[in-house]
Protein backbone atom coordinates (compact mmCIF):
# COMPACT_ATOMS: atom_id res chain seq x y z
CA UNK A 1 0.00 0.00 0.00
CA UNK A 2 1.53 3.37 -0.98
CA UNK A 3 2.37 5.92 1.67
CA UNK A 4 -0.08 8.77 2.19
CA UNK A 5 1.01 12.28 3.12
CA UNK A 6 -0.69 14.46 5.68
CA UNK A 7 -0.74 18.27 5.26
CA UNK A 8 2.83 19.64 5.21
CA UNK A 9 4.33 16.33 4.07
CA UNK A 10 5.58 15.12 0.70
CA UNK A 11 5.68 11.50 -0.45
CA UNK A 12 8.75 10.49 -2.40
CA UNK A 13 8.87 7.21 -4.30
CA UNK A 14 12.42 6.02 -4.76
CA UNK A 15 13.28 3.52 -7.47
CA UNK A 16 16.16 1.13 -7.81
CA UNK A 17 18.33 0.73 -10.90
CA UNK A 18 15.79 -1.55 -12.58
CA UNK A 19 13.02 1.02 -12.14
CA UNK A 20 11.26 -0.97 -9.43
CA UNK A 21 9.89 0.87 -6.40
CA UNK A 22 12.47 0.69 -3.65
CA UNK A 23 10.67 2.30 -0.73
CA UNK A 24 7.85 4.71 -0.01
CA UNK A 25 9.19 7.51 2.14
CA UNK A 26 7.30 10.39 3.70
CA UNK A 27 9.49 13.46 4.02
CA UNK A 28 8.54 15.90 6.75
CA UNK A 29 10.38 18.81 8.31
CA UNK A 30 12.33 17.72 10.28
CA UNK A 31 12.45 14.49 8.28
CA UNK A 32 11.20 11.21 9.66
CA UNK A 33 10.31 7.87 8.15
CA UNK A 34 6.83 6.51 7.76
CA UNK A 35 5.44 5.08 10.98
CA UNK A 36 8.17 6.07 13.42
CA UNK A 37 10.59 8.82 14.26
CA UNK A 38 14.05 8.07 12.94
CA UNK A 39 16.69 7.60 15.62
CA UNK A 40 18.99 10.16 13.99
CA UNK A 41 16.78 13.25 13.59
CA UNK A 42 17.62 16.24 11.44
CA UNK A 43 19.07 19.40 12.90
CA UNK A 44 22.07 21.13 14.34
CA UNK A 45 24.10 20.67 16.39
CA UNK A 46 24.63 17.08 15.24
CA UNK A 47 24.66 14.33 17.85
CA UNK A 48 28.22 13.35 18.79
CA UNK A 49 29.04 9.64 18.97
CA UNK A 50 32.54 8.42 19.81
CA UNK A 51 33.75 12.02 19.55
CA UNK A 52 32.45 12.44 15.98
CA UNK A 53 29.42 14.35 14.69
CA UNK A 54 26.75 11.93 13.42
CA UNK A 55 25.65 13.01 9.90
CA UNK A 56 21.96 12.68 9.01
CA UNK A 57 22.63 10.25 6.12
CA UNK A 58 24.82 7.95 8.25
CA UNK A 59 22.95 4.75 9.19
CA UNK A 60 22.75 3.40 12.72
CA UNK A 61 23.96 -0.16 13.25
CA UNK A 62 23.57 -2.39 16.29
CA UNK A 63 26.78 -1.05 17.81
CA UNK A 64 26.31 2.61 16.83
CA UNK A 65 26.74 4.77 13.75
CA UNK A 66 28.20 3.17 10.62
CA UNK A 67 30.40 6.14 9.72
CA UNK A 68 31.76 4.55 6.54
CA UNK A 69 28.25 3.87 5.20
CA UNK A 70 25.56 6.06 3.62
CA UNK A 71 21.87 5.42 4.06
CA UNK A 72 20.83 5.33 0.41
CA UNK A 73 17.23 6.44 0.92
CA UNK A 74 18.21 9.49 2.95
CA UNK A 75 20.96 10.45 0.50
CA UNK A 76 18.46 10.25 -2.35
CA UNK A 77 15.94 12.32 -0.36
CA UNK A 78 18.60 15.00 0.09
CA UNK A 79 19.36 15.02 -3.62
CA UNK A 80 15.75 15.04 -4.80
CA UNK A 81 14.41 17.48 -2.22
CA UNK A 82 17.48 19.77 -2.02
CA UNK A 83 18.39 18.81 1.53
CA UNK A 84 21.70 18.83 3.37
CA UNK A 85 23.27 15.42 3.87
CA UNK A 86 24.93 16.43 7.14
CA UNK A 87 22.09 18.11 9.06
CA UNK A 88 19.06 16.87 7.06
CA UNK A 89 17.44 20.28 6.74
CA UNK A 90 16.45 21.99 3.51
CA UNK A 91 19.22 23.81 1.69
CA UNK A 92 19.11 27.50 0.84
CA UNK A 93 19.05 28.69 -2.77
CA UNK A 94 22.78 28.01 -2.89
CA UNK A 95 24.71 25.18 -1.27
CA UNK A 96 28.13 23.52 -1.61
CA UNK A 97 29.39 20.45 -3.43
CA UNK A 98 32.66 18.54 -3.17
CA UNK A 99 34.20 17.67 -6.54
CA UNK A 100 36.94 15.36 -7.77
CA UNK A 101 38.63 18.26 -9.56
CA UNK A 102 38.14 22.02 -9.94
CA UNK A 103 36.31 22.25 -13.26
CA UNK A 104 32.88 22.22 -14.86
CA UNK A 105 31.70 18.67 -15.48
CA UNK A 106 33.76 17.29 -12.60
CA UNK A 107 32.27 14.29 -10.75
CA UNK A 108 30.58 15.20 -7.45
CA UNK A 109 31.97 13.22 -4.51
CA UNK A 110 28.56 12.70 -2.89
CA UNK A 111 25.09 12.66 -4.38
CA UNK A 112 23.74 15.62 -2.44
CA UNK A 113 24.83 19.17 -1.68
CA UNK A 114 25.57 20.58 1.76
CA UNK A 115 25.32 23.82 3.78
CA UNK A 116 28.56 25.82 4.07
CA UNK A 117 28.74 25.35 7.85
CA UNK A 118 27.96 21.64 7.49
CA UNK A 119 30.69 21.29 4.85
CA UNK A 120 33.24 22.77 7.26
CA UNK A 121 32.03 20.40 10.00
CA UNK A 122 32.30 17.40 7.65
CA UNK A 123 35.72 18.44 6.34
CA UNK A 124 37.04 18.67 9.91
CA UNK A 125 35.94 15.13 10.82
CA UNK A 126 35.52 13.02 7.66
CA UNK A 127 38.79 11.17 6.90
CA UNK A 128 38.02 11.11 3.16
CA UNK A 129 36.56 14.57 2.60
CA UNK A 130 39.05 16.21 4.95
CA UNK A 131 42.15 14.56 3.48
CA UNK A 132 44.02 17.26 1.53
CA UNK A 133 45.89 14.52 -0.37
CA UNK A 134 42.65 13.65 -2.19
CA UNK A 135 42.77 17.07 -3.84
CA UNK A 136 39.02 17.64 -3.80
CA UNK A 137 37.66 20.99 -4.90
CA UNK A 138 34.60 22.69 -3.44
CA UNK A 139 32.18 25.04 -5.12
CA UNK A 140 28.92 26.80 -4.41
CA UNK A 141 26.03 25.36 -6.41
CA UNK A 142 22.33 25.84 -7.06
CA UNK A 143 19.92 22.95 -7.41
CA UNK A 144 20.21 22.44 -11.17
CA UNK A 145 24.03 22.59 -11.13
CA UNK A 146 24.25 18.93 -10.03
CA UNK A 147 23.11 16.40 -12.63
CA UNK A 148 23.16 12.63 -12.94
CA UNK A 149 25.86 11.09 -15.05
CA UNK A 150 24.64 8.84 -17.85
CA UNK A 151 25.73 5.23 -18.13
CA UNK A 152 27.40 3.78 -21.22
CA UNK A 153 23.95 3.50 -22.92
CA UNK A 154 23.07 7.14 -22.23
CA UNK A 155 20.56 6.31 -19.46
CA UNK A 156 20.52 8.17 -16.15
CA UNK A 157 21.57 5.97 -13.25
CA UNK A 158 19.70 6.34 -9.97
CA UNK A 159 19.56 6.21 -7.03
CA UNK A 160 23.16 4.99 -6.73
CA UNK A 161 24.20 7.25 -9.57
CA UNK A 162 27.38 9.18 -10.01
CA UNK A 163 26.66 12.89 -10.20
CA UNK A 164 28.56 15.64 -11.91
CA UNK A 165 28.74 19.41 -11.88
CA UNK A 166 26.77 20.60 -14.89
CA UNK A 167 28.80 23.08 -16.96
CA UNK A 168 27.57 26.65 -16.56
CA UNK A 169 26.87 26.80 -20.30
CA UNK A 170 24.20 24.08 -19.78
CA UNK A 171 22.41 25.87 -16.93
CA UNK A 172 19.69 28.55 -16.96
CA UNK A 173 22.33 30.95 -15.60
CA UNK A 174 25.29 30.53 -17.99
CA UNK A 175 26.80 33.96 -17.21
CA UNK A 176 27.35 33.15 -13.53
CA UNK A 177 30.89 32.94 -12.23
CA UNK A 178 31.90 29.70 -10.54
CA UNK A 179 34.72 29.67 -7.99
CA UNK A 180 36.52 26.51 -6.88
CA UNK A 181 38.04 26.36 -3.39
CA UNK A 182 40.61 24.02 -1.90
CA UNK A 183 40.11 22.20 1.40
CA UNK A 184 42.27 24.75 3.25
CA UNK A 185 40.21 27.63 1.81
CA UNK A 186 36.95 25.93 2.88
CA UNK A 187 38.24 25.39 6.40
CA UNK A 188 39.40 29.04 6.61
CA UNK A 189 35.89 30.38 5.75
CA UNK A 190 34.07 31.94 8.73
How many domains does the chain divide into? 1
Decide if 4 is inside a domain. Answer: no
Decide if 179 is inside a domain. Answer: yes
Decide if 88 is inside a domain. Answer: yes
| pLDDT score recorded for residue 110 | 81
Decide if 79 is inside a domain. Answer: yes
| pLDDT score recorded for residue 132 | 92
- Give pLDDT < 50 ranges for the chain: 1-3, 8-37, 158-160
- Give the number of C-alpha atoms closer than 13 A to the C-alpha of residue 84, restricted to the C-beta side: 28
Decide if 67 is inside a domain. Answer: yes
Decide if 182 is inside a domain. Answer: yes
The residues facing 107 across adjacent strands are 164
Decide if 165 is inside a domain. Answer: yes
Decide if 5 is inside a domain. Answer: no
Provide the whole-model pTM: 0.74
Q: Which domain holds residue 55?
A: 10-188
Question: Each residue of 139-177: pLDDT tens digit?
Answer: 999 998 988 776 666 555 544 456 889 999 999 889 999
| pLDDT score recorded for residue 59 | 79
| pLDDT score recorded for residue 154 | 59
| pLDDT score recorded for residue 32 | 39
Amino acid sequence: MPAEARPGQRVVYLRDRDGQRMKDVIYVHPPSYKGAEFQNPAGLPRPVVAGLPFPWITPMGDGGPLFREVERVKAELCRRLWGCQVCGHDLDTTAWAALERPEDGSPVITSAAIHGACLRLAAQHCPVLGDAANGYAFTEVVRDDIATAADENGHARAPTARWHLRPLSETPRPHRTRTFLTLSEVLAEP
